[in-house]
């Protein structure tokens, strides 16, 4: 059970990190990106290939993130002058181009060239050979405790926020229920981490879990600082009406390019963790459905709200796991039809969400970019 919770925690944190990059691009800047998985692909393959040649994993992941940002630069220079659906069409085309390129290329490894379709296996993973001493365990427990307390504090601040006319329809009771669910998830993750660290040799991915949670917390905190700064306010003004910041002398294209590159870099980091979690990567691991899962998370949580993105990831993976384990007990369908039914249900729930609360769970209706 603990091993399963470790896996679930890592998956949720990776997609929360991945979706934060998309939220910066679309939620705060209004850039429609249907090819976000391309950045994850670059980050994952760069990290894996460099680590196979003996480059330290931290440096490999950072280089992968930088190359993902460079891909964002290349895409942005040629596409960011497009608007809305045209940008979305181009980005999904680029993501498929990257995947097909990797699929048909021969990848250089220390053991010779490997066909891309065969994937990459047996690459180094973080903290697998670590034998933690008491000091390391104490420091890790301290980090995990700090992350948990920060999450609980942010959730408490959201739940106790005063009611206004603008959010009166979104009742306090619903906010309390969501807060209880999120707090239960946070406490479960915290207890899972403590249990896994107490028997590190049995749960070898517990180190990866703590690492991705710490990185997610750092990225979330940095993004919060950025979007609340003058730079973030310019991004929001571009999202609402880019003619206004242009009239005030702002270089709109440069700001959009910065947001696109930074969102790509965050997705590149998520790609490194994604590769480490899978332990084997194939081109088919980076299909367009990965991007649309991130869109579901952002829409659920609320665009232009980083805390909402984290909550959206929790809700999405809770739904995924519950339906994967509970639905077979209720509906007698084969695996393929059951998977299609689960997608149909979440599509229906999204339609209901668009009618009832189009700005998402934590979003603000006045910041909604749909249909502007």
pLDDT tens, 73-127?
Answer: 998 888 877 666 788 888 899 999 999 999 998 888 888 888 888 889 889 888 7
Whether 34 and 139 share a structural domain = no
Indicate whether 2 belongs to any domain.
no
Indicate whether 86 belongs to any domain.
yes
Whether 216 and 350 share a structural domain = yes
Domain boundary among 158, 185, 203: 203
Indicate whether 291 belongs to any domain.
yes
Whether 149 and 38 share a structural domain = no
Whether 198 and 280 share a structural domain = no
Tell me what pLDDT residue 341 has: 79
Shortest CA distance to 219 belongs to which of 269, 256, 255, 185? 269
- CB within 8 A of 41, min separation 6: which ones? 95, 98, 99, 102, 271, 283, 286
Whether 247 and 272 share a structural domain = yes
Tell me what pLDDT residue 371 has: 45
Tell me what pLDDT residue 53 has: 92
Total structural domains in the chain?
Answer: 2
Domain boundary among 139, 170, 203: 203
Domain boundary among 172, 203, 234: 203
Domain that residue 123 falls in: 12-128+204-367
Indicate whether 236 belongs to any domain.
yes
Whether 162 and 249 share a structural domain = no
How far is residue 262's CA from residue 242's CA, in Å, rounded to a whole number?
19
Whether 171 and 237 share a structural domain = no
Whether 84 and 226 share a structural domain = yes
Residues forming beta bridges with residue 108, ordered by sequence position: 113
Indicate whether 37 belongs to any domain.
yes
How far is residue 13's CA from residue 7's CA, in Å, rounded to a whole number?
10
CB-based burial, 334-359: b 16+ in 10 Å, e otherwise = eeeebeeebeeebeeeeeebeeebeb
How far is residue 153's CA from residue 159's CA, in Å, rounded to a whole number?
10
Q: Is the pTM here over 0.85, yes or no?
A: yes
Q: Which burial class, exposed, middle or buried, applies to 367 when counting CB atoms under 10 A from its CB (0-12, 13-18, 19+)?
A: middle
Indicate whether 243 belongs to any domain.
yes
How far is residue 356's CA from residue 186's CA, in Å, rounded to a whole number?
27
Indicate whether 120 belongs to any domain.
yes
Whether 196 and 208 share a structural domain = no
Share of the chain above pLDDT 70, in %: 84
Q: Per residue in 291-331, pLDDT tens?
A: 999 999 998 888 888 888 888 888 888 888 777 777 777 77
Tell me what pLDDT residue 23 has: 94
Tell me what pLDDT residue 100 has: 92
How far is residue 312's CA from residue 362's CA, in Å, rounded to a whole number?
9
Q: Per residue in 128-177, pLDDT tens?
A: 666 666 776 677 777 777 767 777 776 676 666 655 555 555 556 666 77
How far is residue 195's CA from residue 241's CA, in Å, rounded to a whole number?
50
Whether 177 and 236 share a structural domain = no
Indicate whether 7 belongs to any domain.
no
Whether 112 and 236 share a structural domain = yes
Output the DSSP codes for 246-277: HHTT--HHHHHHHHHHHHHHHHHHHHHHHHHH
Q: Per residue in 204-240, pLDDT tens?
A: 677 788 888 889 988 998 999 999 999 999 999 998 8
Whether 167 and 314 share a structural domain = no
């Amino acid at each position: 059970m603990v091993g399963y919770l470790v896996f679930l925690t890592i998956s949720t944190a990776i997609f929360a990190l991945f979706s934060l990059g998309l939220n910066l691009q679309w939620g705060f800047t209004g850039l429609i990106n249907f090819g976000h998985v391309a950045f994850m692909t670059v980050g994952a393959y760069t990290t894996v290939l460099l680590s196979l040649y003996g480059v330290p994993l931290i440096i490999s992941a950072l280089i992968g993130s930088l190359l993902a940002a460079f891909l964002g630069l290349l895409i942005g220079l040629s596409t960011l002058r497009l608007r809305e659906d045209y940008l979305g069409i181009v980005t999904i085309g680029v993501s498929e181009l990257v995947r097909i390129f990797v699929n048909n290329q021969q990848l250089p490894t220390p053991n010779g060239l490997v066909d891309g379709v065969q994937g990459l296996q047996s690459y180094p993973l973080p903290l697998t050979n670590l034998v933690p001493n008491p000091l390391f365990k104490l420091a890790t427990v301290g980090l995990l405790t700090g992350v948990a307390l920060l999450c609980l504090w942010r959730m408490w601040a959201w739940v106790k926020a005063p009611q206004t006319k603008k959010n009166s329809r979104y009742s306090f009771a619903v906010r309390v229920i969501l807060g209880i669910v999120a707090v239960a998830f946070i406490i479960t993750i915290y207890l899972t981490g403590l249990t896994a660290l107490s028997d590190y040799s049995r749960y070898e991915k517990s180190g990866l879990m703590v690492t991705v949670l710490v990185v997610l917390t750092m990225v979330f905190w940095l993004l919060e600082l950025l979007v609340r700064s003058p730079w973030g306010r310019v991004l929001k003004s571009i999202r609402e009406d880019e003619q206004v910041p242009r009239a005030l002398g702002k270089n709109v294209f440069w700001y959009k390019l910065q947001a696109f590159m930074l969102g790509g870099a965050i997705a590149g980091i998520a790609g490194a963790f994604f590769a480490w979690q899978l332990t084997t990567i194939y081109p088919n691991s980076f299909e367009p459905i990965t991007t649309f899962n991130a869109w579901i998370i952002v829409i659920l949580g609320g665009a232009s709200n980083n805390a909402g993105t984290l909550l959206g990831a929790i809700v999405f993976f809770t739904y995924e796991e519950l339906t994967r384990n509970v639905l077979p007990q209720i509906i007698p369908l084969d695996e393929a039809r059951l998977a299609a039914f689960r997608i149909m249900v979440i599509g229906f729930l999204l339609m209901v969400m668009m009618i009832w609360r189009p700005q998402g769970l934590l979003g603000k209706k006045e910041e909604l970019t749909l249909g502007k």
